[in-house]
Structure 1
């Protein structure tokens, strides 16, 4: 226990999502990042310091002091060094990296402007951790600790919020035409696969913490998150890890590729699963994604340690089911967790194959910046461990409005109408559960 950690008041929390939503909605703790791992929920709030990386500037803050400077080289190495320069004193860091973070390693920086946000991490003063052992609170004053316990207690058994479902079928982005154009490029040999996405703007302001709670009650994510950081609010139900590096230096990624609807009833779900496992297009899409992930981990792993497990398992993620595999390797002694993240980012299942050509196609054909969509929410341990979860099945909001976004993997066998339907199926993980502000 750190010097700032309050003794645990053991509470059995039956609904951690409600507790996290209430802490976020209370608006007493400044900016925050909430992150769910299997069996563990963390609410990290009231930043002591931060690292913000734009295409044109690095800003590092601690307390009242902020420094800003130009930067060059690798964004991953730049963020890693910036975090190391802060007096973390054993604290974790939490935040996000945007899709455009990949432009430097994949030769696409000419698509960026100097204000493009690449990453925003913060070091919290307060951490609230809920797991099977109860509630642990670090960094809070005694009065704040009492408030936190009271909020958690009040949240348990409270009614779920009411939804304002969103119609996701209207499309102002010309999605099917863009897919048809990408299929032509693929068939001409330009690349093998690209993930093209479409944005669905919402005509009203959103209660993001309430949307998180209702959405989490109706989703089965690998990880989930809720954040308010640097003018951005977001909540999501991540289907897969981009990368994790644990304290034993094991690097893991979980490529998901191949999709069918889920939640339509036992018979329909079973039929969709059988169809998914037999569809040549989906099998090819998944196999080339696993091959790419294997090669990427091998770049940073001890030779001979990279391996695939659970190949082509079917995993249920809210309104969809996916083909999934796990790829692991042992991180080489001369490599860091940020090196592993840089080589695996963006997820192969959210960019394309080969990645350089696929990412170029994304920048050309998705038109506007993706930002947090298909980026990652990141947790960084003072021990050097790191976890980055893929941001999909999410809702986003800034002062300019709220939106959803989803994409589909395009290969040579793709049909534009089917890929559009896949985006609708994926949007179905969030759109029915949006709560109006």
Structure 2
């Protein structure tokens, strides 16, 4: 339900802002149609679908655009600046509203860990013309409820003069929503997309395998137990990744996202949650252990059995479940950490994984940014022990990761968050296109197999890029 003025009045003495929402039935909805409208306006924006695939969120007309390099100019740590923004627009949690009604939406890059662990000195993403975060502050959110087939528009309003502001905002939102729905009926061409250079792996199989053997020596020496070693696929492009995002809409990934900020653009179809916070409930979802999907039902079942019974994959997964428990334990209430699912088989279009859920409870004063700090980056994208693995990643990987291995999603002004891990993605800065992926290296890893795992994980994105190239050029769908 939409919050009425009487239901909001009790909050005006305790919160600086409250969310207001209007909505209308909309039987069919195409997120690409909204993306095309905002892209045509020239605004940077983020679009994401939450873990349960119930809501699609669009950051309509952001209040502020925030980047890592921009925040680095401030005299205080980036986290403090972000928390100050969330405090400034603090809102109550109101039953019946979507999980995200306003706050920060976008991504935190892998190198953002240095904000949480000061002793880590990783390659600066600026050396690759990247940022360690890209966020929008949004006080108005366009949201589609896929369960009830409703399109809504939210607005955070000040409680200083709530009675007067409420009526004016309701009228304005109703008019804006009607205009948006009318625009959605108009055909708008996709922006052009084309590959200028064929995609290629950064390291060929022989080179990657040699590095895997070197990493294994660190494991034998006791430096680490496991490390995620990336091997991105590279190319050059022209146009926009919006056409690639359109292709990724066909996948069954829990999270999909399209993000554009100045000359940086990213599209994601991530299968893995980093962390969620809903009130005092927090959870993380380790996903580790991979096989490709079978070409036939029989082969698919055989590969699933192989994955579920592999001592290597089980040991690797259990290690990362323990790491997830330790991460949550940093902020959780005493003895509240628990594993509620262990090593479930999860199938996606190109690969299958083992997945678990680790949950806990936090104190009411624990912030979403504190929960993010405890779990970031995912152990499944770093290794174990996490800090030692990240130190070696910094040594062996040739370029900063940027969005890969970080997370994307939202931090709501009501204290909640939903962040997915930055995997199964493509990003571009200017003309440089990057499709990252990595493999978990353990003591008995075989270099050629780990090289293949990178390719398996990249396949859904590579296919989307190739399909988009074949269908869209100069804004025309072939």
Mark yes or no: TM-score above 0.5: yes
Q: Greater CA deviation, 305-314 or 174-183?
A: 174-183
Secondary structure of 2:314's partner? helix
Shift of residue 222 of structure 1?
Answer: 2.1
Deviation per residue, 1:392-422 (Å, 9 max, x gap): 0011012142221111111111111000000
Q: Which residue is 1:48 aligned to? A: 63
Q: CA separation in 1, counterparts of 2:209 and 2:81? A: 38
Structure 2 residue 85 is matched with structure 1 residue 70: no
Q: Which residue is 2:106 aligned to? A: 95
Q: Which residue is 2:169 aligned to? A: none
Q: Which one of the candidate residues 224, 233, 238 is aligned to 1:191? A: 224
Q: CA separation in 2, counterparts of 1:214 and 1:413? A: 36
**Equivalence map 1:118-157=2 (5 Å):** 118-124=132-138, 126-131=140-145, 132-133=147-148, 134-138=150-154, 145-153=177-185
Secondary structure of 1:117's partner? coil
Q: Greater CA deviation, 89-98 or 361-370?
A: 89-98
Q: Which one of the candidate residues 190, 197, 211 is aligned to 1:178? A: 211
Secondary structure of 2:267's partner? strand
Q: Which one of the candidate residues 32, 40, 44 is aligned to 1:31? A: 44
Q: CA separation in 2, counterparts of 1:391 and 1:98? A: 8
Q: CA separation in 2, counterparts of 1:364 and 1:418? A: 22
Q: Which one of the candidate residues 451, 456, 460 is aligned to 1:420? A: 451
Q: Which residue is 1:394 aligned to? A: 425
Unaligned runs of 5+ in 2: 4-17, 93-100, 156-171, 474-478
Structure 2 residue 348 is matched with structure 1 residue 317: yes
Shift of residue 96 of structure 1?
Answer: 1.0
Deviation per residue, 1:119-169 (Å, 9 max, x gap): 22212254211113311124677775445213434579x99x999899766
Deviation per residue, 1:73-104 (Å, 9 max, x gap): xx544422344346889732212111001124
Secondary structure of 2:41's partner? coil
Deviation per residue, 1:274-307 (Å, 9 max, x gap): 1101111111110000011011111211111111
TM-score (normalizing by structure 2)? 0.79
Q: CA separation in 2, counterparts of 1:256 and 1:286? A: 7
Q: CA separation in 1, counterparts of 2:433 and 2:291? A: 27
Shift of residue 108 of structure 1?
Answer: 5.0
Shift of residue 221 of structure 1?
Answer: 1.2
8 Å contact kept, 1:51–1:83: no
Q: CA separation in 2, counterparts of 1:373 and 1:399? A: 17
8 Å contact kept, 2:56–2:143: yes
Larger gyration radius, structure 1 or structure 2: 2
8 Å contact kept, 2:193–2:241: no
Q: CA separation in 1, counterparts of 2:302 and 2:196? A: 27
Structure 1 residues 313 and 114: CA distance shift in structure 2, 3 A: closer
Q: Which residue is 2:255 aligned to? A: 223
Structure 1 residues 414 and 335: CA distance shift in structure 2, 3 A: same
Q: CA separation in 2, counterparts of 1:255 and 1:114? A: 26
Secondary structure of 2:224's partner? coil
8 Å contact kept, 1:16–1:41: no
Q: CA separation in 2, counterparts of 1:433 and 1:135? A: 27
Q: Which residue is 2:316 aligned to? A: 285
Structure 2 residue 87 is matched with structure 1 residue 84: yes
Structure 2 residue 88 is matched with structure 1 residue 110: no
**Equivalence map 1:405-416=2 (5 Å):** 405-416=436-447
Q: Greater CA deviation, 382-391 or 396-405?
A: 396-405
Secondary structure of 1:359's partner? helix
TM-score (normalizing by structure 1)? 0.86
Secondary structure of 1:431's partner? helix
**Larger helix proportion, structure 1 or 2?**
2
8 Å contact kept, 1:310–1:325: yes
User: How many residues get paired?
Assistant: 419
Unaligned runs of 5+ in 1: 60-67
Q: CA separation in 2, counterparts of 1:86 and 1:312? A: 39
Q: CA separation in 2, counterparts of 1:195 and 1:400? A: 27
Shift of residue 28 of structure 1?
Answer: 1.9
Q: Greater CA deviation, 186-195 or 199-208?
A: 199-208
Structure 1 residues 113 and 4: CA distance shift in structure 2, 3 A: closer
8 Å contact kept, 1:96–1:376: yes
Q: CA separation in 2, counterparts of 1:78 and 1:87? A: 14
